[in-house]
Amino acid sequence: MKPVRLLKAALLTLAVTLSGMADAAGIEQLRTFIENTRGAKAAFTQTVSASSGRKPQISSGSFAFSRPGKFRWIYDKPYYQLLVSDGEKLWIYDRDLNQVTVKRVGNALGSSPAALLAGDNAFETNFSVKNAGNADGLEWIEATPNQPDGSFELVRIGFRDNLPQAMQLKDSFGQTTRLEFSALQANSALDAELFRFTAPAGADVVSE
């Protein structure tokens, strides 16, 4: 199963850096991250586990974001997929199908995990957030959307040394998605073209 639905719910999504005390609680680190990080890029590995116990699905790629609401998310393995948002529209490109789906972002970034990473400072309006303690060497926060949209029920983000290191998502289908970040670069120069998209020649474009 391709991971687009999970990424749209999460995005989708992700990125990263903070300043502050390394042992600060998760919420404090998250607030500093949102206030101080205007953009970032990183690599990720994603593992999707089902409650049925079937073999986990593993994929990897990279992402970049620029506040507010712009992001680019690329799955490189095991197959290529691309998601791009300019803050107003979201393009989802499936290379295997040669199809582009276009959506209006609207309030999506205020009701999805993307608000915690690529959104603005309103995350505590859009989510119920609490500290979730220390596990695996990370300080975790746990957030539930105040306006559930049916795509996910819970998101957890783990911090170490004021950097997001991992994200966990539990969706309404009983699946758990774990994202692990690496090679994070915060507030680095990002080309504006990263957050624009032109459909490839011959691609089927579907607007929703």
We report the CATH number of the domain holding residue 131 as: 2.50.20.10
Q: Is residue 198 part of a domain?
A: no
Q: Is residue 202 part of a domain?
A: no
Residue that has been written with the tokens 């699905």 in this structure:
57
Q: Is residue 196 part of a domain?
A: no
Whole-structure pTM value: 0.80
Structural domain count, the chain: 1
For the cut 60, the answer to whether the pLDDT of residue 10 exceeds it is no
Q: What does pLDDT average to over the chain? A: 83
Residue 74 structural domain: 4-190
CB contact set of 167 (below 8 Å; sequence gap of 6+): 10, 14, 113, 155, 156, 157, 158, 178, 179, 181
| Average pLDDT for 130-156 | 88
The pLDDT tens digits of the residues spanning 177-207 come to 999 999 999 998 999 999 999 999 999 999 9
The pLDDT tens digits of the residues spanning 109-124 come to 555 556 567 776 667 7
Q: Is residue 61 part of a domain?
A: yes
Q: Which of 105, 110, 135 is nearest to 123 (CA)?
A: 110
Report long-range pairs for 158-162 (Cβ below 8 Å, ≥24 apart). 158/26, 159/18, 159/26, 159/29, 159/30, 159/33, 160/22, 161/22, 162/17, 162/18, 162/19, 162/20, 162/21, 162/22, 162/24, 162/29, 162/32, 162/33
